[in-house]
Amino acid sequence: MRNYAIMAAQQTSVDVGGIVRPAGGLDLVTALQPHVGRLGDRAAAHLLRRAGFGGTPDQVRRYSAMTARDAVVSLLAAPPDPSIAPPQELQDLSGPVSMSSDPMQRKTMRRARGREGRDAIFALQLWWLNRMLTTPAPLQEKMTLYFHGHFTSRATPMYPWITYNQNALFRRYALGNLRELALEVSKDAAMLIYLNGAQNVAAHPNENYARELMELFTLGVDNYSERDVRESARAWTGWSVNRRTDTVTFDASLHDSGVKTFLGHTGNFTGDDIIGIIFAQPQCARFFADSLLNWFVYNDPEPQLVDHVAALLRHHDFELTPVLGTILASNLFYGTRAYRALVKSPVEFVVGTYSALGLAEIDDFGLAALAQMGQRLFFPPNVAGWPGGKNWLTSGTMIARQNFLTRLLDSQTLAGSSWLQGLPVSSSTAARRLAQTLLQGDAAPEALSELEGYLSGAGTAAPAPLSVENYGQRVRGAAYLAMATPAYQLN
């Protein structure tokens, strides 16, 4: 078995499918100017992978005829009301667990509620995966996933509604204002429970959220002092979560109303003031600029590029739509260094594969595969979220990716993928069509030769050319080979 994990990781910075990374410096004069001309298949697929989860062959063809600016305008046109009905399992949850005065009955009810809650979380994971696959607003879902990994919290099966509510919050602000989202997240039930904000009271301030708000969410390490953490924690006192109704309340009697000094400012601050002061720091804009460039363009962006995007964020008062519009339509985004420069996360790999094959629905198998690849939605490993990047590619996770492809590419899958059924019964033509549709031509010559050889039966005990009789088996195997290439592991 090839060590695709090592191959992909090595080629990320040097060469992927024949794509050579430039060694020259960044030209900021032209980097963020709009890309000119029609996209074509390769750039359209690139955009759909980065600003969504990949496109079906028909979607790639449709976007290929657009200019970058028109394509991005289309992706930014999210529904005005992104609220979506939750899965039925969540709606069917039983009432509050403490309705009985009998302790044994309450215990039994809690156990039942826990089982129902686990089922609801499972249904919520599957519901969101299918939303990613079928949404008319893929960029909105991609940013929802971004915020899920940025403002991190974990699901609590006893209270699954708060997980859904936080997911809905991220979707509402997916293309909105970063500062307003940070304020809303700070008062969100899931976050208050996860980082102990619900236990933060004037008499005993809890510093967990105050620390992570600056270190992981808005400023980064070494951009605040321990005193800033303590003073911020005081400002956030008084919030609590009603576990019976999943609602958040503020109790002024539990809030520290004394004078606080935070990041050089002094006053009788509340949490709202803390967010305002943080977002007034130049480092906050740089922090988000770096994060967005790592998410959408490439890792380790140049400091001058980070500063430029930070200036854009400040100019637009942290409104995401114009900033993302600039990045996704830019020469930088379609440049050689950015192309297939990011490792696909398990979610991107799974959803993108269903999309590339033209399949209509992700089932339980997709969820199980995600767990084996190391990414369970709503259960990040810690408050820092998933480390991402090359960390996704290990010997174990690559075996999980290969097993996922093997099982997905069965006879039923082939029957559900109209374009795979339509491949010509010609090994050379079918190999080129597979490489173009699944890899947009980013297959190294040896990989293309391997595809053609497999389809023609070369190397088998009884070589036989691609025919009606062996068509299904050969096409499934060739699709697997294409999706196991290093290029396919990358966005």
* Mean predicted lDDT score pLDDT of the chain: 87
The tokens of 8 are what? 């992909």
Is residue 370 domain-resident? yes
Identity of the amino acid at 336: T
Q: Please determine, for residue 430, whether its predicted confidence score (pLDDT) is greater than 80.
A: yes
Question: What pLDDT digit, counting tens, does each position of 328-342 carry?
Answer: 999 999 999 999 999
Distance CA 189, CA 198 (A): 8
Band (pLDDT 50/70/90 cuts) for residue 4 is very low
Whether the per-residue pLDDT at 15 is higher than 70: the answer is no
Residue 447 inside a domain? The answer is yes
Number of helices (H), then strands (E), belonging to the chain: the values are: 25, 6
Looking at residue 17, its pLDDT comes to 42
User: To the nearest 10°, the Cα dihedral for 286, 287, 289, 291?
Assistant: 160
- Between 109 and 349, whose confidence is greater? 349
Pairing verdict, β 19-20 and 239-242: unpaired
Which of 77-81, 180-184, 391-395 has the highest mean predicted lDDT (pLDDT)? 180-184
Give the domain extent around 362: 1-20+343-491
pLDDT of residue 424: 83
- Identity at 318, one-letter amino acid code: F
The answer to whether position 481 is within a domain reads yes
Q: How far is 404 from 399, CA to CA, in rounded Å?
A: 8
Q: How many CB atoms lie within 10 A of CB 108?
A: 13
End-to-end CA distance of the chain: 23
Instruction: Take residue 11 and report the two structure tokens written for it.
Output: 């080629």
Residue 259 forms part of a structural domain: no
Task: Supply the pLDDT for residue 375.
Answer: 95
What is the mean pLDDT of the segment spanning 461-488?
79
Phi, psi of 204 (to 5 degrees): -140, 80
- Nearest one of 195, 111, 122 to 153, comparing CA atoms: 195
Residue 427 lies in a domain: yes
pLDDT digits (tens, 9 = 90+) for 140-174: 999 999 999 999 999 888 889 999 999 999 999 99
Residue 131 near residue 141 (C-beta atoms within 8 A): yes
b or e along 4-43 (b: 16 or more beta carbons within 10 Å of the residue's beta carbon)? Answer: bbebbbebbeeebbebebeeeebeeeebbeebeeebebbb
- 219 pLDDT exceeds 90? yes
Rounded mean pLDDT, 68-79:
92
Contact 320, 51 (CB under 8 A): no
DSSP assignment letter at 469: T
Q: Is the model more confident about 117 or about 291?
A: 291
pLDDT attached to residue 14: 41
Q: Which two tokens stand for residue 53?
A: 């989860």
Whether the Cβ atoms of residue 256 and residue 232 lie closer than 8 Å to each other: no
What does pTM read for this prediction?
A: 0.91
Question: 305 pLDDT band (50/70/90 cuts)?
Answer: very high
Q: Domain tally for the chain?
A: 1
The whole-number pLDDT of residue 454 equals 84
Query: Does the structure show a pLDDT above 50 at 18?
Result: no
Q: Does the residue 421 lie in any domain?
A: yes
